[in-house]
Amino acid sequence: MRYFIELSYKGTAYNGWQRQDNAPSVQQLLEDSFTRLLRENTAVTGAGRTDTGVHASYYVAHFDCGIPIADMQDFIYHLNSILPPDIAVYSIVPVQDSAHARFDAVSREYKYYISLVKNPFARETAWIFKGTLDEEAMNEAADILLSTEDFTTFGKLHSGNKTNLCNVTTAEWTLRDGILVFTIRANRFLRNMVRSITGTLVDVGRGKISVDDFGDIVRSRDIARATNSAPAQGLFLTDVKYPDDIFRRHSMTSYRY
């Protein structure tokens, strides 16, 4: 029987989502915890990779088990008791046996947080930026992403992508209480794409490159021209969407400063 899991995690202590041979990962801790509770080796498949130090305020994964879970709330309680404090499971929902947390996702949303003031509480969850940024110019440049198909410029070399085409439907900066937030939604993302886009947009905001320069960089399809990669700690995966007949979001958890 297949189940979808809704969870969140703070990625500071982990080498990303994916299991590593010699470093802690979120996937490894989940698989070990499920195996312990279900008393059978349990593989957990995630909606996608997150890199070292990147967080997820909302994440979806799936697993299979031979016997249906009788008391789900009790199971989740014991699962959260085993998991470390920086990983939390909110719901486990039965789905079709063919449903897939990664391949059935139709869109994903990331948010990148930049604190424009010194903030001791955001040190591990935002880029503490010293200086001023032109939010208007950054939004003007971000609009270019909505009419872009090929994101080769912001990919990562030797990532094994079959295609670098992505459909970005949202790309905008908003300011709230000294926190500048970049929200980007697309059908798919390349490895390091959001951090590379964010870093290059910040260079627009600080006046190092113009909006026109940014457009030229995007259209160049040249990884070497992306000017900067934002630090990992400010990046959060915040949403994963599926067709309604596959899975509907249950947990409404979201990150807030």
The DSSP-derived string for 26-74 is: HHHHHHHHHHHHHTS---EEESS---TT-EEEEEEEEEE-SS--S-HHH
What is the enclosing helix (H) or strand (E) of 168?
strand 168-176
Own/partner long-range contacts of 123-129 (Cβ < 8 Å, ≥24 apart): 123/233, 124/10, 124/12, 124/233, 125/10, 125/55, 125/233, 125/234, 125/236, 125/255, 126/179, 126/233, 126/234, 126/257, 127/230, 127/231, 127/233, 127/234, 129/180, 129/202
Q: Which of 21, 51, 134, 216 is catalytic?
A: 51
Residue 216 among the catalytic residues: no
d(CA 203, CA 228): 8
Provide the 3-class DSSP secondary structure of residue 7: strand
- Active-site amino acid positions: 51
